[in-house]
Amino acid sequence: MRIVIAGGHGQIALRLERLLAARGHEVAGIIRRAEQADDLRAAGAEPVLCDLESASAEEVAAHLQGADAAVFAAGAGPGSGAARKDTVDRAAAVLFADAAVRTGVRRHIVVSSMGADPAHQGDEIFDTYQRAKGEADAYVRNLGALDWTILRPGMLTDDAGTGLVRLEASTGRGPIPRDDVAATLAELLDTPATAGLTLELISGSTPVSVAVKSVAGN
């Protein structure tokens, strides 16, 4: 498959690019800064320069031409203010989904956040983030032209992955290594029967491939 990843220089995205390239997929990662390109090439991905905060749907769609799947893994990141939670975590996710519809790339995976909810209460930056992610998720779920899967990991860590997870509609809170999030995303991409599911992910006792097959009904 050819897979295009928004937020291609993110910590989860770089891990995912390595995994997908190792599986023989053709991977492209959308990045904002040219100096990030070498890191993507080292991960086995083609760097695509495009700022999702200023690009049009037509411009993003051009980068999705010929793709079999799209993954939204972009985020404003820690330290960003409320404005960028809206322009990246909500608006860029909406833009990327619209571009996928425009290009006919049906398979669409969103890396969301546990607790994402358009009605999330509170005035802190994290509250704004949860609303932005929730609004983006709701938008994607309403697009009938996409075979979407929304993945909501728990607290992300840089611990080495174990390959053992808990993947369900509702898992409760818990940590999850970024390695295992990337492994789960790779497996979801290879499992189209997970389309239409919103899933939470934390560390657990089930091998990633078994957990994905289980939620897919296999």
Catalytic sites, residue numbers:
129
Distance from C-alpha of 35 to C-alpha of 207, rounded to nearest angstrom: 36
C-alpha 78/C-alpha 119 separation (Å) is 22
Answer positive or negative: Cα dihedral of 157, 33, 18, 23. Answer: positive
Euclidean distance between CA atoms 127 and 112, whole angstroms: 14
> What gap in Å lies between CA 161 and CA 177, rounded to an integer?
6
